[in-house]
Structure 1
Amino acid sequence: MQNTLLMAVEFYKDNTGTDLPLCYTRAKESNTNNKSMLDRVKQVLPQIAANAEQAEKLRHVPDENIALLKKIGLHRAFQPKVYGGLEMSLPEFADCIVTLAGACAGTAWAFSLLCTHSHQIAMFGHQIQDEIWLNNPDATASSSIAPFGKVVEVDGGIILNGEYGWSSGCDHAEYAIVGFNRFDDQGNKIYSFGIVPRQDYEIVDNWFAQAIKSSGSKQLKLVDVFIPEYRISKAKDMMEGKSAGADLYPDSKIFHTPYRPYFASGFAAVSLGVAERMVEAFKDKQRNRVRAYTGASVGLATPALMRIAESTHQVAAARALLEKTWQDHKLHGEQHHYPNAETLAFWRTNQAYAVKMCIEAVDRLMAGAGATSFLDNSELQRLFRDSHMTGAHAYTDYDVCAQILGRAVMGMEADPTMV
């Protein structure tokens, strides 16, 4: 750790001509605890699970949940070490989100994105990174990256107007990453991202959903917002190691990677966590279940045993597929090796197929769990709803992903309409 800090001091002096800010020394403090991050998550899990019902009523992550997760340092998972971050491996991080999702899927969904956006920010130039993390080392960003906004090119940047939906965790973020299209001299689209501070946009409370309720995935409204060039990056550059921050952390094991797999890692992790919890909740319910009209024991009857057996296998298969994929992400990053198009297609579609398996496993159990499982106070119905929402994201839509992988394995060009 001492060597890392010395390198950080030398790096900062070389690039800015000044001494390293005091907050960088927090990296030493944040790494002195030998307890794994997963163990720390498990410690706060009971409180987060106890807040799950209230979180749904709030329609955003409770402040207590955010405070608990920041106290254990999970928000620093993908923050550069020179700012006090942890630079965790993707498998380690994903396992934390899986575990968290079993307690509250909305909290896991929103918080995972607040974490992974730090990985994306680290690919911007040092000026915006300093602006964010020197002022507040605990700062995070939400996002809305579909290019909804209208861009006007001006000297030194752009003026952006637009209404950006689905910004999970925005109530707890100090910044937002938004997507938009610029155009080159030939009229070609350049899909880009811009980082916007909280004071430059309005949060519109329009998050009224039937699942993942506590994610607080509200709308961001931008009116005549100026975004300077140093806060802008091309998406393509972030996928190919050509962004302004590409060479800032030469010894890092996580930043020599495309941004998108890290950004999207939480979606399947949440789905897996929900499915694993559904298996446990179903077993707990079935052990003493009797049929109301006859008094016959049905919880441990053959049909119930067959359902739990197949869903257990299916969820285990989903975990195995995801763990292999996350490990592949990790190895590519450690080797500073960017994946080819076919590998990227597998990474993208493996996630969606795992989500598909998790939803099927949950559905099988819910179909045999009895009418009381649909009552509002039943954990099973919440898990059922949340599970289906994990497959509704554009990145986990298997109808799209099957076409993407089919084209890749047959050696066809990627379809630009499928992202």
Structure 2
Amino acid sequence: MTPASSPAPSLADHAPRIAALAGEHAVRSEAARTPHPDVIDAVVAAGFAAHFVPPPFGDPARTFTELKRAAAVIGAECPATAWCAVLATLMARTAGHLPPEGQKRLWGKGPDTLIAGGVTPRGNASPTEGGWTLSGSWPSVTAAEHADWLLLTGVVHEGGTAGPRVFVVPRSAARVEKTWDDIGMQATGSHTVAVDEVFVEEPMTFPLALLAEVDDPRPGHDDRPVPLLAVNTLLFCLPMLGAARGVLRRWTRSVGDKLHERQGEFDPLVAHYADVFARSSSELDAAELVLDRVARLVDTAERVDRADVARNQRDCAFAAGLLVDAVDRLMRASGSSGHSTGRALQRLWRDIHTAGAHMALQFGPAAAQYAREFLRSDTAQ
């Protein structure tokens, strides 16, 4: 009788080790403005880059719920590393819209290909025989120095295919300009990438509009269309959830002894700490419940329509606001020691503010889009 084989380790199984390694290198990585190579190697080896690689090259059973659990664990120690990890999954998922030949070039030798990039059109492309010529400069490309391939978006101004397109080019074809100077997420290495008249073959490009399609199946994926806008904000929130957990855990350790020492009679400081703890932990729990709903929807829904996209974006922006508010309250009650540059508390605080400042997580635009979708006469039934 052959014994049953053990299931392969999940992202969550690898997450504590990556978190410890990232925490160990956090100070040096911030100073270098780039993730430590050992940390990136651990992220890739754990399967983050392969998590959403489409079949036949990847495992179609991978879920956002699994990713959420792992990213939050890593984010509690180093939100910047969690950001690199979730962006690796997002870029692979995006590159899955390439034609089959392009997908084979990326993953034909295995799914652990690290792709960096972004979908905001920053470059220009011209059609040429067999493909396109691409030039441009793209800021804020996470883990740019460590990528195998770069996913870059440019606008075609001529011919029958005019409009924005996504291009995937080898990292060796680009130069990285070290421009990343944000006060938070310093260890993401989100520098500027530039290319000058790089030839991109036809199989390594697709129209940007494919990412927004709702009613048609995703090329190369399963038959459940989940457009990019339904999931990108969820991924941006996961390092923030981890950061908030990390701040709450450290704050609780630092004030726990004070609370126990001073109980027994009414003490305004004890009452203040209790209020801070209860409110911030409630906000963190509420944000996590909202994000769980988003993950569950995109993991299980047979179809994701425009209304689902609008709700997901609203929910993620709302959750991001709760997490930032919770961390700010804890930091205000941490005393001057909590802001010491020698403590991780202030690093997590800076990181969550940088992540929360992402335009995709601003509640105003998300609320307006949600209202437009749900206040229409055919939706508000």
Output the TM-score relative to the length of structure 1.
0.81
Q: CA deviation at 1:330?
A: 0.9
Aligned partner of 1:211: which letter?
A: G
Aligned partner of 1:399: which letter?
A: G
Partner of 2:183: 210
Instruction: State the superposition RMSD in angstroms.
Output: 2.7
Q: Residue by residue, what CA displacement relative to the aligned partner does 1:254-290 show, whole Å, maximum 9, x if unpaired?
A: x632133344432111111111111111101112359
Which of 3, 12, 19 matches 1:45?
19
Q: CA deviation at 1:412?
A: 9.0
Q: CA deviation at 1:67?
A: 2.0
- Number of matched residues? 369
Q: Which runs of 5+ in 2 are unaligned?
A: 260-265
Contact 1:121 1:129 in 2 (8 A): yes
Q: CA deviation at 1:324?
A: 0.4
Partner of 1:270: 239
Q: CA deviation at 1:299?
A: 10
Aligned partner of 1:180: which letter?
A: G
**Aligned residue runs from structure 1 range 160-199, under 5 A:** 160-183=134-157, 190-199=163-172
Q: Residue by residue, what CA displacement relative to the aligned partner does 1:165-223 show, whole Å, maximum 9, x if unpaired?
A: 0000112211111112235779x973321111112111111112210010000000110
CA distance in 1, matches of 2:271, 2:295: 36
Identity between Structure 1 and Structure 2 (%):
19
Contact 1:148 1:164 in 2 (8 A): yes
Q: CA deviation at 1:90?
A: 1.0
Aligned partner of 2:306: which letter?
A: A
Which of 313, 319, 328 matches 2:288?
319
Contact 2:57 2:110 in 1 (8 A): no
**Structure 1's 34 and 227: CA in aligned 2 closer, same or farther, altered over 3 A?**
closer
SS in 2 for 1:364: helix
SS in 1 for 2:56: helix
Aligned partner of 1:79: which letter?
A: V
SS in 2 for 1:196: strand
2:228 is equivalent to residue 259 of structure 1: yes
Which of 102, 111, 115 matches 2:89?
115
Contact 1:105 1:386 in 2 (8 A): yes
Bigger drift between 367-376 and 114-123 goes to 114-123
2:312 is equivalent to residue 347 of structure 1: yes
Contact 2:54 2:220 in 1 (8 A): no
Contact 1:192 1:235 in 2 (8 A): yes
CA distance in 1, matches of 2:291, 2:139: 28
Contact 1:79 1:87 in 2 (8 A): no
Partner of 2:355: 390
2:341 is equivalent to residue 376 of structure 1: yes
Q: CA deviation at 1:107?
A: 0.8
SS in 1 for 2:168: strand
SS in 1 for 2:76: helix
Q: Which runs of 5+ in 1 are unaligned?
A: 1-30, 291-296, 414-419
Aligned partner of 2:279: which letter?
A: E
Q: Residue by residue, what CA displacement relative to the aligned partner does 1:358-417 show, whole Å, maximum 9, x if unpaired?
A: 00000111111101111101221111111111111121122322222222222299xxxx
**Aligned residue runs from structure 1 range 217-236, under 5 A:** 217-236=190-209
2:32 is equivalent to residue 63 of structure 1: no
Q: CA deviation at 1:348?
A: 1.5
Contact 1:120 1:263 in 2 (8 A): no
**Aligned residue runs from structure 1 range 138-157, under 5 A:** 138-157=112-131
Aligned partner of 1:373: which letter?
A: G
**Structure 1's 368 and 282: CA in aligned 2 closer, same or farther, altered over 3 A?**
same
Aligned partner of 1:144: which letter?
A: G
**Structure 1's 242 and 176: CA in aligned 2 closer, same or farther, altered over 3 A?**
farther
SS in 2 for 1:376: coil
Partner of 2:263: none
